[in-house]
Amino acid sequence: MKGGSSYRVRARHFSLTLIAVVFTTLFLWIWEKNPFLHLAQDQFLLPSSGSSPMFSEFISDLPDESLLNVKEKEHFNEVDPNYVRPETYTKAIQESDIPFNNSTSTSSSSIRKVDGHSRTSSTRKVCNYAKGSWVPDNRRPLYSGRKCKQWLSEMWACRLTQRTDFSYEGFRWQPDDCEMPDFDRFAFMKRMEGKTIAFVGDSLGRQQFQSLMCMVTGGEETPEVEDVGREYGLIIAKGNIRPDGWAFRFPPTNTTILYYWSSSLCDLQPLNASDPKTEVAMHLDRPPAFLSRFLDRFNVLILNTGHHWNRGKINANRWVMYINGQPNQDRRLAAVGNAKNFTVHSIARWIDSQLPSHPRLKAFFRTISPRHFANGEWNTGGSCDNMTPLSKGSTVSKDESSDIVVESAVQGTRVKILDITALSELRDEGHIARFSVKATEGIQDCLHWCLPGIPDTWNEVLCAQI
């Protein structure tokens, strides 16, 4: 009897042990296969104690299909087996408690505890310039597309192409509940007296830079403007056909406007500077060296990135992803969409960490500019042939941004969002399309915009937020 009881105890113990082993194995398998179970522990990396601070970044296991309303796919040439729908990703962000080190100032606020620390959440209503409507305006455009040759690249000046319909020029953006006064170039330059405005990003950032140069000059020749690119190291390097950017100063107000090419917003370092075919370390956790060097000279900074984050461009540039100064070993960051999201959050946190030391600086992260290719890509017959303004509607009514990556990256920081995605999505007729100075049969540009055009509105929203 006693031996039977002992046997039953041992059998019960064995069964419980077996169940525990099976449960643990199953849990670990689910943990490995479901990337969103990792969000809580992997959402942020702690700052390093070294001289080069490690940033607090967000890691998402999500191919970059995050812009639902604009169906913006960055065309990654890889399939992620851990694909998660964007709405799930958005929910994970909204439900997470993000321990930001730097909170924004608030007028009226509520305090709550997170991990034993006080958290402040603002209840102040902030003006949403991205919510509103396109309205006709016969005072547009703000400058001549034929005259602004001093600043405007010929390839983006649609008035110089075969295009004959310019009705897309005759609209302005009207936010619902925000005061956005008409752009006055003289008043703006007076307000920017002694200040430096810096655009850092890809070719869409360059379009915004050229747009502002045309806006502040009215598109007229301005011979007194000084080329001060050399002050910022913006010279044509050996073997290059153009500098990495441009910088111009307006003597009457001592205002400088510059652009620096950084398509990824990463620091890029050749692994062998003496070899022209060397691989390049793409430091996902470091800002471009240009920013680190010149940030103290800027008063307004506008960042953007997005369209160069695809496997084809990364391979063509021989970029190799690096983290903490070492080649990346994290399989999740090997996915281009995840690497981009990591970098966007990384640089937003870095800029935020620098702002207390640069109290004069206002920093903006511009959301992604939508593409409008239909029935293919730029090299497979894709087109954007619509020439009718606002055929997709004229109003943006939602409060949240269409670019949830940038929106979440700036949340809780002093970096402001320059949200242009949804309002630009309505303007598919404003692209270069099939019209160019040297038109190529079968090739359309449904990424870049005609100037004057939609990027002028981006600058109007920027000026209102400054």
Based on C-alpha coordinates, what's the Rg of the chain? 25
**pLDDT score, position 12:** 59
Compute the distance between CA of residue 40 and CA of residue 98 in angstroms, rounded to an integer: 9
**pLDDT score, position 31:** 37
**CB within 8 A of 279, min separation 6: which ones?**
270, 271, 272, 318, 319, 320
β-strand pairing of 300-303 with 267-270: unpaired
**pLDDT score, position 95:** 39
Which one-letter amino acid corresponds to residue 25? Answer: T
**pLDDT score, position 17:** 55
**pLDDT score, position 101:** 28
- How many Cα atoms within 13 Å fall on the side-chain side of residue 249? 12
Q: Which of 6-10, 116-120, 217-221 has the lowest mean pLDDT?
A: 116-120
pLDDT class for 8, splitting at 50, 70, 90?
Answer: low
Q: Which residue has the higher pLDDT, 87 or 380?
A: 380
Instruction: With a cut of 70, say whether residue 409 has pLDDT above it.
Output: yes
pTM of the model: 0.76
The per-residue pLDDT for range 411-458, each reduced to its tens digit, is: 999 999 999 999 999 999 999 999 987 766 668 999 999 999 999 999
Compute the distance between CA of residue 425 and CA of residue 449 in angstroms, rounded to an integer: 12
Compute the distance between CA of residue 389 and CA of residue 170 in angstroms, rounded to an integer: 9
**pLDDT score, position 228:** 98
Mean pLDDT of the 221-238 span = 94
**pLDDT score, position 239:** 76
Compute the distance between CA of residue 211 and CA of residue 344 in angstroms, rounded to an integer: 24
Mean pLDDT of the 345-374 span = 97
Strands (E), 153-295: 171-175, 196-201, 226-227, 245-250, 255-261, 267-270, 280-283
Mean pLDDT, all residues of the chain: 79
Please choose, from the candidates 442, 404, 430, the residue with its C-alpha nearest in 3D space to the C-alpha of residue 141: 430
Q: Which residue has the higher pLDDT, 4 or 88?
A: 4
The per-residue pLDDT for range 142-187, each reduced to its tens digit, is: 999 999 999 999 999 999 999 999 999 999 999 998 988 899 999 9
Phi and psi dihedrals of 30, rounded to 5? Answer: -65, -40
Instruction: With a cut of 60, say whether residue 204 has pLDDT above it.
Output: yes
pLDDT class for 118, splitting at 50, 70, 90?
Answer: very low
The per-residue pLDDT for range 254-291, each reduced to its tens digit, is: 999 999 999 999 999 999 988 989 999 999 999 999 99
